[in-house]
Structure 1
Amino acid sequence: MKLLLITSVSEFEKEVCKLFKKAEILVYSTSDIQGQKFYVSKTIQDNWFSAQRDSHDSKLYFSFTTEDKIDAIFKGVEEFNAEKSKSNPIKAIVLDIEKYIN
């Protein structure tokens, strides 16, 4: 059993849902989150208010699933990022689950 976590900007919600469906991960959960990004300025004029920060509406997706489905969704995420999203890539990680109760 693995725990799959995916984050993306909210604009990619439909695409991420298609990735889950294509990987045959039919049960997953979502949560709205705020992505934060700090920019370090290079000049003193740009650094008047210290660091600048942008906030982005984002989504967190998570699912308990199997290794074969993880491989399928990772392939889809890599393809999507290569083709459509260089500035805001979909991010995915997997955590091993040592114990669980079903």
Structure 2
Amino acid sequence: MKLLVITCLKEYLSDVAEIFKQGNIEVFSTSDIIGHRNGASHNILEDWFVSGGEKAESIIIFTFTSEENVAIGLKLVKQYNETTKSDFPIRAFIMPVDQSV
């Protein structure tokens, strides 16, 4: 089992839901998030969150699923980011689940 975590602008939730559907990921959870920064960056496009007084409505999406489904989901996120030119791409990462109860 793996944990797939995605952060993105809230407006991309339906796109991520479609990615999950294509990746055979049927169940996922969401939570609103607010990013904070203690320093300035040289390139704002490389940052996960906005800087200064600007705010963006962001969301974190996560799911526990099989290694196969996570691989498909990550591939689809990469394709989405390559075809959808945005200053705020979808960010995704995978974490192993060593134990669960």
TM-score computed with the length of structure 2 as normaliser:
0.81
Partner residue in 2 for 1:14: 14
Distance 1:86 1:100, change over 3 A: same
Q: Name 1:47's counterpart in structure 2.
A: none
Offset, 1:61: 0.5
Q: Which amino acid aligns with 2:32?
A: D
Question: How many residue pairs were aligned?
Answer: 93
- Contact 1:20/1:26 (CA < 8 Å) preserved in 2? yes
User: Aligned partners of 2:72 and 2:37: how far apart in 1?
Assistant: 29
Match of 2:92 in 1: 92
- Tell me how far 1:79 sits from its aligned partner: 0.8
What's 1:75 paired with?
Answer: 75
- Given the superposition, is the C-alpha separation of residues 40 and 11 from structure 1 closer, same or farther in structure 2, using an over 3 Å criterion? same
Aligned to 2:61: 61
% same residue: 32
Provide, for residues 42-66 of structure 1, a one-character-per-residue CA deviation record: whole Å limited to 9, x for no partner: 9xxxxxxxx7342210111111111
CA shift for structure 1 position 83:
1.1
More strand by share: 1
Task: Report the aligned-residue RMSD.
Answer: 2.2
CA contact (8 A) 1:32 1:58 kept: yes
Structure label with greater radius of gyration: 1
TM-score by length of 1: 0.80
Point out where structure 1 has 5 or more consecutive residues left out of the alignment. Answer: 43-50
What is the deviation of 1:37? 5.7
Structure 2 portions without partners, runs of 5+: 43-50
